[in-house]
Amino acid sequence: MSESDLVLTEIRDDGVAVVRFNRPEALNALNMATRKAMADAFTALHDNRDVRCIVLTGDDKAFAAGADLKEFVDEGPVEIIQRRSERYWHAVATTPQPVIAAVRGYAMGGGLEVAMACDLIVVGETAQLGQPEIRVGIMPGAGGTQRLTRAVGKFMSMKLNLTGKPISGTEAHALGLASDCVPDDEVLDFALKQAASIARMPALAAQAIKEAVVHGESASLETALLLERKAFQVLFSTEDKKEGMTAFIEKRKPTFQGR
């Protein structure tokens, strides 16, 4: 399979792009070619003003089952450093549009780390999520100790990382690791409807909210509030602010242009 086939992108007419892992024979395991294809797909969408929300998904058996260990078993630290694979996750996390991970089946190791780099996670009830790296002698290296701790707290993060045992989608939602949990066969439809709803919102406001939440999370409260306040003030210069408030006063649906 060529690199261009490992990750498929569909741009819909409702402002939503669907990025899909396409390595079903390996449960969408994230070999280096798949990671690069994923990053390329997201980079290509960064400046596309017609795309206002992105759904990242796999198939019904796996979102992404983790790293492809065949590419790691003989590698040493220098080779791992030189791969600079963190840049591939960075492309997902820094996409200006909101990103929804639609998780069915396995989201293990790097697969869960990619999902946590997104802004919303919709899981199927029987999906399996976990950080099993300790079971093969290593640890998470792309957010599994950091984003997971921020999502579920120290003690559950320790449990998931130290035992390597997965949890179900239902459990993930109860812990705050997922924004929504639905029956397995409804995951993608639910995510697409949610994405379409977000895509109808003013794009500049959605992007400003994403920036404030993502960057404010790791800042002091005072700094985060300043970031929020400045973004709030800037939005008063947009045409969508005028349209949204006018439409509310006139009791009609607004038409947002992303300006």
Active site residues: 67, 110, 113, 133
- Cα–Cα dist 143/107, whole Å: 14
What are residue 123's DSSP bridge partners?
A: 103, 181
CA 180 to chain centre: 13
203-216 and 221-234 helices, crossing angle to 10°: 170
3-class secondary-structure state, position 102: strand
Distances (CA, A) of 19 to 90, 100, 113: 16, 10, 16
3-class secondary-structure state, position 182: strand
- Cα–Cα dist 140/158, whole Å: 12
- Kindly list the strands in the beta sheet with 7-11, ordered across the sheet, starting from the edge strand earlier in the chain: 7-11, 16-21, 53-57, 99-103, 120-124, 180-182
CA 106, 101, 125, 132 torsion-angle sign: positive
**Which amino acid makes up residue 138?**
I
- Cα–Cα dist 143/31, whole Å: 17
- Cα–Cα dist 238/253, whole Å: 18
What are residue 236's DSSP bridge partners?
A: none
